[in-house]
Each structure stands twice: as C-alpha cells, then as structure tokens.
Amino acid sequence: MGTIVSFHAHPDDESIGSAGTLARAAAAGHRVVLVFATRGELGEPVPGVLEPGEQLPVRRSAECYASAAVIGAKRVEFLPYTDSGMIGEPSNEAPYCFWQADVEHAARLLAVILDEEEPDVLTVYDDNGGYGHPDHIQVHRVGKRAAELAAVPVVAQGTMNRDWMLRGMKAQNPDFTPPPGMDTVGKSESEITHRVDVVDFVEQKRASMRAHASQMGPDHFLLTMPDPMFALGMGTEFYIVDPPVNPASAPEVFEELFLPLR
C-alpha cells in the first residue's frame, strides 16, 4: 500500500489539521509517518497538568506517541530544533530554533527520513503556515525542499478554507463581522485544490486532540463542541497540491483520499 509522511511544527498540530486524513489513510492500510520539527518547548501547559519537575517538551513528546497510536501512525520522528514561539517574540531569534534553521540543512535532515520511507505523499502547510506562525512557515519551506531532494511525488499543503469558515460563521450569526486579521488565516477557496472527507474519522481526530492533554484540557472549545457541530466543522480537511498531479500517474493513496475541490 501507499505511504504518507506528515510533517508538522509542534506536537498537537497534527491533531487539528490532518489527523482525519492520516486516520483514514491508516484505516485503509496505508503507512502513516509523523515528523515534528520541534517538541513544542514554548507551549502553554494546561494549569496543573504537569507533575512536579516534569519538563513540558518531554510530556509533549510522549503525547505525540499517544496521538500516533490513535491515528494509526507507525513511526514518529523529531528534527533537532526548538520551538520558535509566536511571530515577533524574542524567541524567534534563538540560534537553535526552527525559524532560524538553514532551510537546506533542515531539508536534508528531513530528506533522510523521506528516503527511508519513500512516501507517495508528504503533507506540509501552506506558505503562510496557516496563520503566520514562523515555525509553520518554515515547515512549508523545509518540507517542499526536502520533497525535491527525495523526489516525493505529491506534496499536499494543509490549509484552512477561509471562505468555508466565514460561511459557517455567518450561517450561525447573520450579523457576524470578520475580526481583523481574518484575511490572513488559511487560504481563499479559489486557491485550494483538494479536500479529504474525514467525517467518519472525527472521533479519532478528537481522540488525537485529547492525547495532547498538556495543551488541550477537557474544557478546550474543540473538545466541548457538540458532536454534530464538530463533525461539520472538522469533518473536511483542505489542501493545496501544486503542481497539479497527473491522474494517470497519481499514487494510489493520493487518488483514494484527496478529492478535487472543484
């Protein structure tokens, strides 16, 4: 069967953006591999969740393995970089953070894993990292270059469908006004090329989120969302695939999961 390698910036990013795609792939018998650029050292832990003396990156690393088990991933790897923090923070300047990593060098490290796995599909993020987080932008840059080095047939850029989100918000509240900065979240529908229907895997997606208990407590809005609303809001995952894949030579796992948006 096929193989998908899913590259992420921090622990828990896989849960929100692509867990449904990966769970569906694993359920169909395809091999799923998770790679994280950092161990999420600068995350904000849920109050009281850490044991005395417990280090956050150690906990978050363990949570990645728990999430992988829920999703059905067979391998978890970490690149040797640290969390860069949100855009504009002093932590962005740390010489060992992912944002400061040399793209070519980081891509060669990722390419070692890609050469071992020979994936049909590599998932990364869009060029703005979904919402402008420096580590997410770096995942895009490093991932695309690594795919070139390892000759991965398909690179699928995970993103959020901004127009779809706005339609949903307006349906709930006709007076809804988009907040400042909404135009930088995700991508417009015209830029998105593919979707993956994951409605049948939303419970695994939510269980993957619960696995990251240091970041998503029981009262997190995604975990308290009513089941029908969660299925509606999180039951489709969106991607940009560029350049277009020739259907005649498309890998089976890509053709099976990724549906053209239009």
Rounded to two decimals, the pTM is 0.96
Kindly list the domain boundaries of the chain, sorted by start residue. Answer: 3-260
What are the helix and strand counts (H, E) for the chain?
10, 8
DSSP 262: -
| Residue 23 structure tokens | 């769970």
> Which amino acid, one-letter code, is at 262?
R
198 burial via Cβ count (<10 Å: 0-12, 13-18, 19+): buried
pLDDT tens by residue, 142-196: 999 999 999 999 999 999 999 999 998 888 888 888 888 888 899 999 999 999 9
Per-residue pLDDT tens, the chain, 262 aa: give them.
999 999 999 999 999 989 999 999 999 999 999 999 999 999 999 999 999 999 999 999 999 999 999 999 999 999 999 999 999 999 999 999 999 999 999 999 999 999 999 999 999 999 999 999 999 999 999 999 999 999 999 999 999 999 999 998 888 888 888 888 888 899 999 999 999 999 999 999 999 999 999 999 999 999 999 999 999 999 999 999 988 788 778 899 999 999 999 8
Q: What confidence tens digit (pLDDT) does each residue in 232-253 have?
A: 999 999 999 988 788 778 899 9
Task: Please provide the CATH number assigned to the domain covering 3-260.
Answer: 3.40.50.10320
CA–CA distance, 185 with 162 (Å, rounded to integer):
7
Peptide bond into 95 cis (omega under 30): no
Q: How far apart are CA 135 and CA 82, in angstroms?
A: 9
Helix ranges restricted to H, 72-133: 103-117
